[in-house]
Each structure stands twice: as C-alpha cells, then as structure tokens.
Structure 1
C-alpha cells in the first residue's frame, strides 16, 4: 500500500503550476500583443460589432489590455492575474463564441481552463504572491 501511495503523490506541483503560468502568460502576451501593437484591434471590433455589442472598439481595446495585463501578472505569479484572465476568457467563450467549446471557442476555452486552474490553486511557491504572503506572515 505504501508503494501505491508513493506512486500517486504529487511531487512537482509547484513546477507544474510554473509551467502552466509560463505557457499561458507567454501565449497570451503574444496573442494580446499582436492585437494591441500590430493594429488588429479594429478587426476584433468589427467582429464584436457583427455580434451587435455596444461600443465594440472600446470593448476590443478593453479585452486586449486586460489580457495583456493579466498575462504579465500571471508570469510574475499573481493570482489576481489568473482571475482577470479567467474573467476575460469566460466572457469571450460565453458571449463572443456562444459557448461553442467543441468548435470555434475551443482555444479560448482552454485559456479559460488554464487560468481557472491557476486561480483555484494559486500560482505556487515559485511566485511573487507566495513570496509576498510569506514575508507578510513573518513580519506579523
């Protein structure tokens, strides 16, 4: 029985969470950065306008700025960044892609799930959140 319990121990949870953070943060920096810095926001605004969203240009910029900021926070290891990404991707999946998670919303849904996992588990011991919280606990 002891051998079986060792087999199912999670040894490298913090490292696994770090890998998820790095992948999600980098891919979302690339994605949102391409919209913000290469003039693709009007393309997104046209898509939102086709869905009859109010203020499509404002919402397009807001979503891409939110994704960009969340990606940076995730890379640094702040749980708030994971919450921001979860919220932004949740809206994209539910409203912009009609919750079609097996077709057009598959990729945004994956981003949503990864960010939700980070939000629920925290960003691990290899994060600024963990470092800051440990220092606060030590000083109080």
Structure 2
C-alpha cells in the first residue's frame, strides 16, 4: 500500500465505511444502553426537556436514536435513515444542551454529529444489509 497515493479503491472505501459504522454505532450504544436500562427499571427519569417536550418524551426519543438507530447503523440497515435521528440528537446535544459549555464538552457531540452526517451522505457501503437487500431487489428486475 502506497501511503501517498490517493486511494480510489471502492473495496477499501467500503471496508472503511464498515469500520466507521460499527465503531461509531458501538460507541453510541454505550450512551443508549444505560438510558434504556433506566427506562426499563423503576429509577426516576432525570433528563433534559427539549423543545417543549416532557423529560420522559425527550428521554424516550433519545433512547430510540441512541440505542435502536445505533443498532441499525451497526448492521447497515437503513443506514441513511437511521443516521438522521442520531445526527439530530447530537446537534441538539452540541447546540442546545451544551451551548454554553466549554468546547471540550461540546466536542464529543460534534464528533458524533460529523460521523452521522458522513454516513447519511455515503450510506452503509458494500458491507451492509442495505447493499445486500438492494442487490436482492435489483436482481428480481
């Protein structure tokens, strides 16, 4: 591998998308899983109310994104669609929840936001269920 050459190999790009999807999805699951466990337990919900929604509604919508959409991103099923709520949650975290915090606090949300925007633009790549399903559907026509 020549490190100075611009790589236009789609197999390498697809492998990079797989690593990006799985890596960022697992990292986001570490945020969503504890919240899901709180929801399923008797613990009181302590969460920020955003856009006039109750704490509980905000919490549940956050779990839907951070837990369930993360699983879809990991397996590459509806990658572009699943990236939208994840990007939205991260935008809210960065620009609403942590608006007046130091950049070092906002930074993690911005990193996640950037990756989910990239996945929205690129899709899941060849090593995703999206690709496999697309090939199966197109093969019928």
TM-score (norm 2): 0.80
2:83–2:120 CA contact under 8 A, matched in 1: yes
**Matching residue of 2:29:** 29
Cα distance in 1 for partners of 2:65, 2:17 equals 22
Structure 1 61/131 Cα, relative in aligned 2: closer, same or farther at 3 Å? same
**Matching residue of 2:75:** 76
Where do 4+ consecutive residues of structure 1 move more than 4 Å?
A: 38-41
Cα distance in 1 for partners of 2:138, 2:100 equals 41
* Greater fraction of residues in helix: 1
Structure 1 21/101 Cα, relative in aligned 2: closer, same or farther at 3 Å? farther
- Once the two structures are superposed, residues 71-108 of structure 1 have per-residue CA deviations (whole angstroms, 9 ceiling, x without a partner) of 01001103221222112222222221228682321111
More moved, 77-86 vs 111-120:
77-86
Structure 1 99/24 Cα, relative in aligned 2: closer, same or farther at 3 Å? farther
1:97 equivalent in alignment to 2:95: no
Q: Which runs of 5+ in 2 are unaligned?
A: none
Q: Secondary structure at the match of 2:34?
A: helix
**Matching residue of 2:121:** 120
Q: Give the aligned length.
A: 132
C-alpha displacement at 1:10, in angstroms?
A: 3.1
C-alpha displacement at 1:57, in angstroms?
A: 2.3
**Matching residue of 2:111:** 110
Cα distance in 1 for partners of 2:23, 2:115 equals 10
**Matching residue of 2:8:** 10
Cα distance in 2 for partners of 1:31, 1:41 equals 17
